[in-house]
Structure 1
Amino acid sequence: MTFISYAQNFEDIRLWRALKHFENGFYIDVGANQPTVDSVTKAFYERGWTGINIEPVQVYHDALCQERPKDINLQCVAGDNAEALTFYAIADTGLSTVEASVAKQHRDAGMDVRSHTVHSRTLTSICEEHVKGPIHFLKIDVEGHEETVLRGMDFSQWRPWIILIETPWTRDQTWEQLLLDAGYHSVLFDGLNTFYLAEEHLHFKGAFELAPCNLDEFQFCYGHSFSYPLTDLETALHHERQRADRAEAELHALRNSRSWRAVETLKKVLRRA
């Protein structure tokens, strides 16, 4: 089956190279945002993987609950303790943050930044409650809150095989030392994220040495930013196909319902009479 990429910067393709031989894998997505657009985990979910999505924005959390019913979807932020925090939301973006200084930069740039209170949990507590096996990858995209997230994870007990974290272009991330001290090795900076491998999984390093290419046999998802612009006709056709798919699913569910089977049985009896 052709691999459909949804991620913003080929992240899912790189991860799939390393992990495609593992069935029913498990991920943790901190700052999951929207369940499809630019999602690092969507392609894995389509292939039977499940995981934990941590997303404080109400509209995105609701969408995750609807589109990812097999996942564990938590409406909170990951931090270094359990507490109430001020969260700065910027609608229809991936720029929402708990960092006041970052929020101020966006507000000064003219963005509509709205604050509300959210609950914080440590990744350790989340893993203790929900993780039953290996964590194949951990993705963190939290707009300046990375160090606090990492300080809330016990890497001596929970060892994600691969970690990818959105990273400043200047690559001056002070939080990197936390990962190095925990036995992780930096293997790739892709211009947006830094990928780290646990020292016990350095055999995956070769999967990150080559840029995504035709050998990966992938396609971009419908409407991907790297794909060609869509015409109004193509967009309308896509929506009609979605409606047809939903109608077909509803009809299939109806035909499998008890009431439908009862009616069909009654029809057969009446025809014989």
Structure 2
Amino acid sequence: MNENEKKIAIWGSGDYGKMAIRYFLSKNVKIECIVDNDKNKWGTKVNGIEIVSPGIFLEMQDIHLYIAVNVSIIKDIETQCDEMGIKNYEAFDFRLYSERERLISYSSKRDMEDVVLYHALKDVNEIFYIDVGSNDPYERNVTKLLYDMKNASGINIDPQRGYIDMTNRERPRDINICCALSDEDGELELYYQSGYSTVVQENVKDEDCYHEKVKVTTLKKICEKYCEGKEIHVLKIDAEGSEAKILAGADFKRYKPWIVVVEATNPGTMEDSSEKWEKVLFDNTYEFARKIGVNKFYVLKEKKDLIREILAVDSLKEKYCIYHAELFFE
């Protein structure tokens, strides 16, 4: 009988138990329960799976038990099982967990936009992206994982010269453009507000912050210059309130990114802002796939099979062993 056919339980609800849980869930194996000696945890759940006492588990029938605890106490748990008469058990082999592909996520630890895109495009070669509001080429960056792990390349657009200078050094395969995007060419005032720098006057929180004129062009003109004959796999937009005008300045008839990711909240809040621009995507045959954190993901109708590959964060944690560069930013 293979793992998918037999009933299993996990002994351990801590970090080691969660590793085993993620492994079996990634293999689509149903876990009947989690066993733990800590009575304060009984009746609570991990990943929707109830934690029960060893006594309750003893009453269950034909369930194979995997012990997933620190190596220093495995023998104690095995002795406890023997004394209770639990015979159908074994120590979980953590080498199985480490077989999952290891990824370093550079974007938000909460949202993991880069891992979402990595998984959705896992079978695609020569990925090409357009990152509008690319910001730092490393810190909380959405395309660095693709650049590093998939040998992807693309266009990074940001009006802040310092970020583009860094990107030129760190992304030699990419086209890096220092400008803002809107629905027409011209100039706009850029207000520097740490992670919320903006060209939208109503989103300026401090009128006394440093500001300067920056060049503005359209996504259509960027694509005309750099994307003729290219398949665009990802368009990501994070522009602190400029999303509607940026999308209005695109030509989705000629240039059709497979996946469009747009920050869908008003700057600095969790208030949804997609009603201001979502119709542009729907009118150009995009379908909504999933909302993850502050972002909404859309898929071109012609590529709608990708919708099922736009996974929630918890599902990605089950499939990959993910480390977060965000932990080292400070």
Question: If the length of structure 2 is used for normalisation, what is the TM-score?
Answer: 0.63
1:218 aligns with 2:317: no
CA deviation profile, 1:198-238 (whole Å, cap 9, x unmatched): 1111101111244343333132244x24xxx89xxxx9xxx
CA deviation profile, 1:163-184 (whole Å, cap 9, x unmatched): 0101113324211111111111
Q: Give the conservation status (yes or no) of the 8 Å contact 1:82–1:120.
A: yes
Aligned residue among 96, 103, 117 for 2:213: 117
Shift of 1:129: 0.8
Give 1:200's aligned residue.
Answer: 302
Shift of 1:7: 1.0
Secondary structure at 1:3's aligned position in 2? strand
Alignment of 1:1-273 (within 5 A): 2-8=102-108, 9-47=111-149, 48-90=151-193, 93-103=194-204, 106-107=205-206, 113-131=209-227, 132-168=229-265, 169-173=270-274, 174-211=276-313, 212-222=315-325, 224-225=326-327
Secondary structure at 2:252's aligned position in 1? coil
Give 2:44's aligned residue.
Answer: none
Secondary structure at 1:39's aligned position in 2? coil
Cα distance between partner residues in 1 of 2:192 and 2:260:
25
For 1:181, give the aligned amino acid: D
Extract unaligned runs of 5+ from structure 1.
Answer: 236-273
Residue identity over aligned pairs, in percent, reads: 35
Give the CA RMSD over aligned residues. Answer: 1.8
From the superposition, tell whether residues 13 and 81 of structure 1 become closer, same or farther in structure 2 (CA, over 3 Å): same
Secondary structure at 1:73's aligned position in 2? strand
CA deviation profile, 1:90-141 (whole Å, cap 9, x unmatched): 2xx32111001101xx217xxx621101111111111111113111000000
Cα distance between partner residues in 1 of 2:247 and 2:159:
17
Greater helix proportion: 1
Q: Give the conservation status (yes or no) of the 8 Å contact 2:182–2:246.
A: yes
For 2:221, give the aligned amino acid: S
Question: If the length of structure 1 is used for normalisation, what is the TM-score?
Answer: 0.76
In the alignment of these two chains, the number of paired residues is: 220
Secondary structure at 1:128's aligned position in 2? helix
Give 2:40's aligned residue.
Answer: none
Extract unaligned runs of 5+ from structure 2.
Answer: 1-100
Q: Give the conservation status (yes or no) of the 8 Å contact 1:5–1:218.
A: no
Shift of 1:17: 1.2
Cα distance between partner residues in 2 of 1:96 and 1:72:
22
Cα distance between partner residues in 1 of 2:273 and 2:249:
21
State the 4+ residue runs in structure 1 displaced beyond 6 angstroms: none
Secondary structure at 1:220's aligned position in 2? strand
For 2:195, give the aligned amino acid: G
Query: Considering only CA atoms, is the larger Rg found in Structure 1 or Structure 2?
Result: 2
